[in-house]
Structure 1
Amino acid sequence: MESSLQDSKDFGLENSCFEKSQDSNKKKYLVVESESEASIIVINSCTVTNKADREVRSYARKCTKEGKRVIFTGCGVKHLGKNLFKQNAVYSVFSHSHKEDLRAILDSKNRVNLVKEKNKNHVDSSIFPQIVGRVRAFIKIQEGCNFKCSYCVIPSVRGAARSFSERQILKQVEILAQNGVSEVILTGTNIGSYGLDTGSHIADLLLQIDEIKGIKRIRLGSLEPSQIDARFLGVLGELRSLEKHLHIAIQHTHPTMLKIMNRKNTFERDLELFCELSSRGMTLGTDFIVGHNGESESIFESALQNLQKLPLTHIHPFIYSPRLGTASAKNAEGLEIVRGDVAKKRLRLVQNMIEQKNLDFRMRNKDKILKVLIDGEKNYENNNVIESYITGLDEYFNRILVPLQSKFLDSIESVKKGSWIEVSQYDVKDYNIANNFRIL
């Protein structure tokens, strides 16, 4: 009898989306969209924050109580796997280096406990199986991180930086393109370190992917400012398909906090780099941590002033979450501890600032023609009324909404998930709402 399997439930970072695709090679198992239909659920966990740990524990226990067979993997295995298995909160558990054994784990008639890594520097022998019929595909180009940021547990979980071969990556991109995937997102633990161990460089990889027929947009995961060198900057103007958006993780803008966090970047260099990239027509996103030990009110106010100087349009802010075994958790003595309510207030200030910057950018550029990859149909509230739209992301990583109404009816019928459209007129609101478009 065929078992129903929900494609991995992900918690946390974008890198998990690649692993979700990788996990989908499960012949003899019927992959279902809804967890209510599934008899087996693979949970791909993240352990960046305490919140992620709490959520994944709760979800695993909930599914097990409902009678599902829960298979637990991802970064949370190191900290949570042993106890979840012992408490019967999950059926089986396996670490990153056992991902290629998923089929055998699914087929096993007994519970499987593979918490221990085979080798922390393991690299999967295959990137992922063929993906067909999806709007975009996530491709992991590397694994691990050589940085030693004081707050981060990931290097101890993922190991040192190591890269997949260019040949492997390019072959998979070609397969994706041949099967209708036109946007690829390059992911990894720290993608800017790609090629350090193989004598290659992410710039060289981008140039080769850019030449593959059928690929219309390349998106990059998070980069570190110290990794954006002259070689990377030199190819930006040569790439026809690179999205006009980069996510560059700065984490903070005050020198005291950058030192406490053991970061490699400085605000002065970040400002210079971001202004250079903005002048080339790129929109820019970043990560920012508030509430880390040592972030006094005066330091935060100064950091906020610095943040205002950066030409940002997107941000992923975090409230600091102490992780067991990290330098930040061990060395908090003597540093000011930020109360939770204060951290939440700071988070909102950061979010509001960048939301306004994003709106300002879209207002300044409202005459630009935008290319949009349609990724679905959703309902959004507009003037207190729930309306239906087809929706997608433009080249600046901003969402476009196309109303499902009579004036678009003839064109809408030809637009489906995976279609590319060109939007020439739109209203700038919380999202850009199209008034006119054509199908590409």
Structure 2
Amino acid sequence: MIDSSAFQGKKAAYYTLGCKLNFSETSTFARLLQEMGVREAAKGETADLCLVNTCSVTEVADHKCRQAIHRMIRSNPGAFVVVTGCYAQLKPEHISAMDGVDLVLGANEKANLISILSERWSAVGNASDGHLHEHYSVKTKDINSFAPSCSRGNRTRYFLKVQDGCDYFCTYCTIPYARGFSRNPTIASLVGQAEQAVADGGKEIVLTGVNIGDFGKTTGETFLGLVKALDGVEGIHRYRISSIEPDLLTDELIDYCAQSRSFMPHFHIPLQSGSDTVLKLMHRHYDCSLFAGKIKRIKEVMPHAFIGVDVMVGSRGETPECFDETYAFLAGLDVSQLHVFPYSERPGTSALSIPYVVEEPEKKRRSRLLLDLSDRKFHDFYSRFVGSEAEVLFEKAKRGRAMHGFTRNYIRVELSPNDSLPELDNQLIKVRLGDFNHDNTSLKATLL
């Protein structure tokens, strides 16, 4: 039993970097602390506890993490500072040595955040400089805990963590080292969390994880089995699959989503490169032919589906010819948006042994070309639906501001301030889609 008396009346500040999974986990940490008597610090208040949930997907991400930690410490003098997440798992000694840091919790330990915090917070008084500088982490092979998370934070949509870790070990990636091997809870436990989200008023859930298509390694179940079970939860009107590897996006799953009650025509699929040469260097589990086949299958059964694609530019081995192949491949795909990431050297990855290096100016040039291509695809996709009717789940907006929400196929919609009423928040509303808004990020809508 954890003694909550040390938490009573305390104020906490949170900062999250990286993926949707991290945001979901931070939101869950905040809820658990709230149950212990800790409230979130209001703007301008000094927090007693600071939690920074970190990312380490690129060198830039590492730099942003260090900046965030320093900023938290400066803004909250005397606070007890906890750092967790991927950067914390990979560089625990470095972070714990930083001035003002108390606890660094790796991927296995963050599941026990509350109990560790209750034990160590009181020990600060014995520290020579007022901070503990302690770190707790295990080796990748020993990461086996699973921290459940189904939370919405300040958002309308819930984010349900269905899986953690990855067994793929792509040559450019540190995530398996930071998150451990693939593991998951049971379908029954996840259905229970979805049912609780319904009880709390949730209508849409995003399934998150590191490699969610790999669901079932721990329990002998399947991702398709999970999808079918969640589809039966009454009260959840929409599910979205945050990201799924193309080799794990089966035809059976695509076909099921096409006729499903609640799984939306919306997919996010990492490609990384449109060159088979580069995909082999990356140790990806598919080729361009398989990827193109998945896009074709989705569009056959869900012509209106939104498809987002991750693509990395400037990776080791990406010669000009390989980039040209990638550009041509993507230009010919019926996808809706590209998420473009410049390659970043990560210490300890096998990609460093690949001899061909792309210089930074060339990475930027290639990124710009693909971002321009993405803008055209995005505009073309949205344009197809101007003048049509759609159902939108609206999200809360400040009084006097435009409200936004998403259609079933992930078109962002903007409602004028005059029509934006508080009672529309978290409601599924029929609208007519108009032209683009001022910055081309949404379609303007009128209520029906």
Does the TM-score normalized on the shorter chain lie above 0.5? Answer: yes
In the other structure, the counterpart of 1:434 is: 444
| 2:226 is aligned with 1:226 | no
Identify the match of residue 181 of structure 1 among 168, 193, 202: 202
| 2:345 is aligned with 1:322 | yes
Counterpart amino acid of residue 62 in structure 2 = D
Distance 1:378 1:313, change over 3 A: farther
Distance 1:267 1:35, change over 3 A: farther
Mapped partners of 2:151, 2:98: distance in 1: 36
| 5+ long unaligned stretches in structure 2 | 1-7, 124-131
Identify the match of residue 64 of structure 2 among 49, 55, 63: 55
Distance 1:433 1:250, change over 3 A: closer
Q: Greater CA deviation, 294-303 or 137-146?
A: 294-303
Give the TM-score normalised by structure 2: 0.88
In the other structure, the counterpart of 2:407 is: 394
In the other structure, the counterpart of 2:25 is: 19
Counterpart amino acid of residue 186 in structure 2 = S
Mapped partners of 1:160, 1:127: distance in 2: 16
Mapped partners of 1:370, 1:36: distance in 2: 42
Q: Greater CA deviation, 160-169 or 366-375?
A: 366-375
Runs of 4+ in structure 1 off by over 6 angstroms are 129-133
Distance 1:38 1:419, change over 3 A: farther
In the other structure, the counterpart of 1:418 is: 426
| 2:145 is aligned with 1:123 | yes
* Secondary structure in 2 matching 1:377: coil
Counterpart amino acid of residue 286 in structure 1 = V
* Secondary structure in 1 matching 2:316: coil
Q: Greater CA deviation, 163-172 or 19-28?
A: 19-28
Distance 1:103 1:121, change over 3 A: closer
Partners of 2:184 and 2:215 within 8 A in 1: yes
Counterpart amino acid of residue 83 in structure 1 = H
Report how far residue 273 of structure 1 moved: 1.2
Identify the match of residue 9 of structure 2 among 2, 10, 17: 2
Identify the match of residue 89 of structure 2 among 47, 72, 78: 78
Partners of 1:210 and 1:241 within 8 A in 2: yes
Mapped partners of 2:150, 2:396: distance in 1: 24
RMSD over equivalenced CA pairs, Å:
2.2
| 2:115 is aligned with 1:104 | yes
Partners of 2:22 and 2:53 within 8 A in 1: yes
Mapped partners of 1:367, 1:64: distance in 2: 50
Distance 1:197 1:413, change over 3 A: closer
Report how far residue 114 of structure 1 moved: 3.5
Partners of 1:372 and 1:400 within 8 A in 2: yes
Partners of 2:268 and 2:309 within 8 A in 1: yes
| 5+ long unaligned stretches in structure 1 | 380-386
Provide, for residues 305-363 of structure 1, a one-character-per-residue CA deviation record: whole Å limited to 9, x for no partner: 1110111112221110011111112x133x2x111111112112111111211111111
Partners of 2:24 and 2:152 within 8 A in 1: no
Mapped partners of 1:435, 1:232: distance in 2: 32
Partners of 1:292 and 1:338 within 8 A in 2: yes
Report how far residue 413 of structure 1 moved: 3.0
What percentage of residue pairs aligned between the two structures are identical? 24
Report how far residue 130 of structure 1 moved: 7.3
Distance 1:132 1:174, change over 3 A: farther
Partners of 1:132 and 1:179 within 8 A in 2: no
Mapped partners of 2:396, 2:106: distance in 1: 33
* Secondary structure in 1 matching 2:109: helix
| 2:302 is aligned with 1:285 | no
